[in-house]
């Protein structure tokens, strides 16, 4: 895969959870081969997981150029090789050294996180590669059924697909004195109902529509947690509502959980299918918060059930976000009921333990 903890993103969190879950169950027999941020190759062991981060010379169209990656990947052996797509270097390595790879690993599993959305001009190059990898796979794992129906690649391979929900460690979201004290701090700091977004400030997150929506939500405060190339552009938009939008580049895990608890509504305004799931929304739901998401074709709206766990609005539509935020702010009973349903849904359907167990079920099935 491309990166691993502490380089944090949705896929990185999932891979870390899986790797550490496997290590706990199989006496530290869990290995991750990833790409480092510089020329050096690093090896370490963390929480029972053996990690090799191979040196990277640069990138071409977001693809890491790591000449040593194939060597280190094929130095490993095991029952299962799991590739996390889209990550073309892993698939290229497997196909280029197919005979050797099949000798070193009994089965190939592809976890399909999303289609490639932005680099459409390169589709003639990467489409045959991804189709070949999917053809070779013994099983394909997706986080929701909508990952299959919304994909341009998985339709021909649906018989191989297995749904395994992403999960969160629910123990981290339980009520504690520390989290409640920090949540109280955030509420008092902003002194208005908090509307929360957390994530990278990149195009497909659609944060500009959320910032614009706040022009007509005068009685709440939007807190944006995250950093990215669009920070300056978003700050310029926020000038129109200077007293109710704040930017926080980073929060520790405990502080972020406190912020989830402090907020009234969590909003994920994504505008492209690059947002395949939205792990942050199940984190907010685990804290008993209603969520507002957009009507993407992906798993985002599988997780957030309109009218039950929150509201779903049209994408790229600031007015729709404004209306949904104001509707929930005006009805505390609705917020509370949706928040409880959301929390129950996460605790039942979206736990780390469930994700690891169901992934192992897939492994056992194809190995038997």
Convert the pLDDT of each residue in 275-314 to its tens digit: 999 999 999 999 999 999 999 999 999 999 999 999 999 9
Identical fold for domains 10-167+352-367 and 170-349, yes or no, is yes
Q: List pLDDT tens digits, range 187-244.
A: 999 999 999 999 999 999 999 999 999 999 999 999 999 999 999 999 999 998 878 9
Kindly tell me the number of DSSP H helices and DSSP E strands found in the chain.
15, 15
Q: Rounded mean pLDDT of 75-83?
A: 94
Q: What is the C-alpha separation between 301 and 187, in angstroms, rounded?
A: 29
CA atoms within 13 A on the CB side of 272: 13
What is the residue extent of each domain of the chain?
10-167+352-367, 170-349
Does pLDDT of 121 surpass 70? no
**86 cis-preceded (ω within 30 degrees of 0):** yes
Q: Which among 347, 359, 344 has a CA at the least distance from the CA of 172?
A: 347
**6 cis-preceded (ω within 30 degrees of 0):** yes
User: What DSSP state is assigned to residue 193?
Assistant: P
In this prediction, what percent of the chain has a pLDDT beyond 70? 97
Q: List pLDDT tens digits, range 241-282.
A: 878 999 999 999 999 999 999 999 999 999 999 899 999 999
Ramachandran class of 278: left when φ > 0, alpha when ψ lies in -120 to 50, beta otherwise: left
Ramachandran class of 47: left when φ > 0, alpha when ψ lies in -120 to 50, beta otherwise: left
Helix H or strand E encompassing 301: helix 300-303
Does pLDDT of 117 surpass 80? no
Q: What is the C-alpha separation between 66 and 39, in angstroms, rounded?
A: 9
Q: What is the C-alpha separation between 67 and 191, in angstroms, rounded?
A: 53
Which of the four CATH numbers 3.40.50.300, 3.40.50.2000, 3.30.457.10, 3.40.50.1460 does domain 170-349 have? 3.40.50.2000
Range 64-68 contact pairs with CB under 8 angstroms and sequence separation of 24 or more: 64/2, 64/35, 64/89, 66/35, 68/41
CATH 3.10.20.30 fits 10-167+352-367, yes or no: no
Q: What size, in residues, is the chain? A: 368
Q: What is the C-alpha separation between 355 and 143, in angstroms, rounded?
A: 9
DSSP string, 17-60: HHHHHHHHHTTT-EEEEEE-SSS--EEEEETTEEEEEE---EEE
Does pLDDT of 143 surpass 70? yes
Residue 5: predicted pLDDT: 62
Question: What pTM value is reported for the model?
Answer: 0.92
Does pLDDT of 10 surpass 80? no
CA atoms within 13 A on the CB side of 219: 6
Residue 86: predicted pLDDT: 86
Helix H or strand E encompassing 362: helix 352-367
Q: In the predicted model, what is the mean pLDDT of the chain?
A: 93
Q: Which residue has the higher pLDDT, 309 or 38?
A: 309
Rounded to 5 degrees, φ, ψ at 12 are -60, -40
Does pLDDT of 75 surpass 70? yes
């Amino acid at each position: 895969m491309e990166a691993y903890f502490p380089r944090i993103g949705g896929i990185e969190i999932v891979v870390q959870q899986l790797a550490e879950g496997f290590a706990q169950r199989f006496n530290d027999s869990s290995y991750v081969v990833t790409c480092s941020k510089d020329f050096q190759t690093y090896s370490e062991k963390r929480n029972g997981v053996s990690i090799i981060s191979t040196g990277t010379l640069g990138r071409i169209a977001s693809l890491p150029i790591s000449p040593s990656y194939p060597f280190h990947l094929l130095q490993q052996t095991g029952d299962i090789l799991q590739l996390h797509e889209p990550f073309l270097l892993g698939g290229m390595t497997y196909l280029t050294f197919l005979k050797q790879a099949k000798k070193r690993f009994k089965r190939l599993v592809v976890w399909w996180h999303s289609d490639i959305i932005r680099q459409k001009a390169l589709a003639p190059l990467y489409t045959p590669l991804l189709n070949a990898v999917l053809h070779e796979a013994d099983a394909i794992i997706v986080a929701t059924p909508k990952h299959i129906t919304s994909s341009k690649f998985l339709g021909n391979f649906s018989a191989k697909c297995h749904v395994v929900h992403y999960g969160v460690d629910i123990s981290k979201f339980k009520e504690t004195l520390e989290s409640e004290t920090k949540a109280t701090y955030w509420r008092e700091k902003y002194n208005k109902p908090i509307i929360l977004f957390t994530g990278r400030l990149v195009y497909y997150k659609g944060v500009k529509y959320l910032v614009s929506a706040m022009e007509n939500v005068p009685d709440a405060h939007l807190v944006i947690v995250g950093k990215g190339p669009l920070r300056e552009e978003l700050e310029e938009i926020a000038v129109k509502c200077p007293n109710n939008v704040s930017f926080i580049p980073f929060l520790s895990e405990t502080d972020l959980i406190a912020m989830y608890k402090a907020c009234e509504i969590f909003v994920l305004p994504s505008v492209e299918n690059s947002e395949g799931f939205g792990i942050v929304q199940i984190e907010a739901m685990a804290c008993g918060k209603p969520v507002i998401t957009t009507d993407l074709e992906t798993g985002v709206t599988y997780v957030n059930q309109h009218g039950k766990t929150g509201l779903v609005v049209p994408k790229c539509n600031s007015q729709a976000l404004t209306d949904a935020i104001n509707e929930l702010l005006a009805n505390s009973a609705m917020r509370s009921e949706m928040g409880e349903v959301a929390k129950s849904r996460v605790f039942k359907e979206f736990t780390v333990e469930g994700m690891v167990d169901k992934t192992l079920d897939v492994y056992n099935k194809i190995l038997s």
